[in-house]
Copies of this chain bind each other. A is one copy, B any other.
Amino acid sequence: MRSTSRTEAFPAHTPAASQIFTTVLSHGPLTRSEIAARTRLSAAAVTKAVRPLIEAGYLLEDVDEDARQPSLGRPANPVLVDGGRALFIGVKMTGDELIAVLTDLCCRIRVARHVPLTTHDPKAVLASTAALVQELLTEADGFGVRVQGLGIAVSGDVDRAAGVVRYSPFLEWRDVPLAELAAMTTGLPVTVDNDVRALTVAEQWFGAGVGLSDFAVVTVGAGIGCGLVVHGQVVSGAHGVAGEIGHVAIDPAGPLCHCGNRGCVEAIAADSAIVGKVREVTGVQVADAAAALDLAHEGDPGAREVYARAGEAIGRGIATVANLLGPERVIISGEGLAAYDLFAEQIRDAFAAAAFGSAARCDVQTRPLPFEEWARGAAATAIQSFIRSDTY
């Protein structure tokens, strides 16, 4: 995270304090003893960490529940996060547009904005981003609350620790030091992360992953992505690559992938692969994924078969994740869910056939998440950086 002076420091000076706050953020309201039980910290440590967080206004005592009796001299009232105490901005960059949201500390969206991108030139994209952020900062002024951080989510190989976009195919970027550049143009502390990992953070803290130590988010659409949470933490990979379900190769005789291999899940099930295959099979020169989808929805058997094959590939990719990691849940999302009626059955059948033993007990569910949710994921990474500030 690149830091500037406009913002304040979060009053959690130890990993334990950050952990306590995160626990209340995802699971609150919680009493101090409930926090102690969940974090496996001592009640004394919880009481000590909660005090400055209440004093600084980040946590509130839930005085409504006055029926509870204090025990052992410790306050028994539950505490909860005051979402309105701080605001954050999340931006999702796609090849076509910027989607930005202003959220509170509980990652609830207050304002959302879209602007189209007409160029992928980093300077122009940064200028558009800065203008969009400025609009949201003005909105934040209206709430009278300070924005404490900006998160940016980009697809591709992103090094969060360094704040650098190593490679983003849709933006055609290589080694862009996005965090540093965006901090200069916006004056905010900036966190840059891979878009699927950002969405996974939002699901872990505020979505369908709350309370799960092991789950996966699989996104289908322009690419096939995957965010993995193992032992309660998002997997980043020792060298920055992880969750590349799109490049799990399931068929050596399959179509050529842009990565150079044959039969990757992405080469069968990503939007461009589906469009190409529908054209080939039907002879209809569909313009884009929406047109291919229309053709299949009109009942064209060739087009429907292409979606069925895509579903099979996705199901097999998910089974591979389940066989290696045994997650409790897999959440399928992404704009490709618009075609879900065309491949849901194939995803489930292929998963059930390829999952090994009790790995098949994994709960596979779908969750349509609009692009605002991806921007919300970016805001979640900014919240995460704010809470885990490197003051300890």
Binding site for B on A (CB under 8 A): 15, 40, 157, 166-167, 214, 226, 228, 230-233, 235-245, 247-253, 259-261, 316, 319-328, 353-354, 356-359, 361-362
Cβ contact within 8 Å between B321 and A324 = yes
Residue in B closest to A234 when the chains form the complex, CB atoms: B231
Residue from B251, B325, B358 within 8 A of A235 (CB atoms): B325
Residue from B15, B323, B359 within 8 A of A40 (CB atoms): B15
Residue from B230, B244, B321 within 8 A of A230 (CB atoms): B230
What is the oligomeric copy number? 2
Residue from B237, B252, B326 within 8 A of A239 (CB atoms): B326
Tell me which residues across on chain B come within 8 A of A361, comparing CB atoms: 238-239
Extra inter-chain contacts (11) besides given A245-B323, A245-B324, CB under 8 Å: A157-B357, A157-B358, A230-B230, A231-B235, A241-B357, A242-B325, A248-B323, A250-B250, A250-B252, A260-B353, A321-B324
- Give CA–CA (A259, B353) in the complex, Å: 9
Residue from B15, B214, B237 within 8 A of A325 (CB atoms): B237
Contacts A241-B326, A261-B354, A326-B238; A252 near B249 (Cβ below 8 A)? no
Tell me which residues across on chain B come within 8 A of A321, comparing CB atoms: 324
Cβ contact within 8 Å between B228 and A324 = yes
Tell me which residues across on chain B come within 8 A of A242, comparing CB atoms: 324-326
- Give CA–CA (A123, B232) in the complex, Å: 40
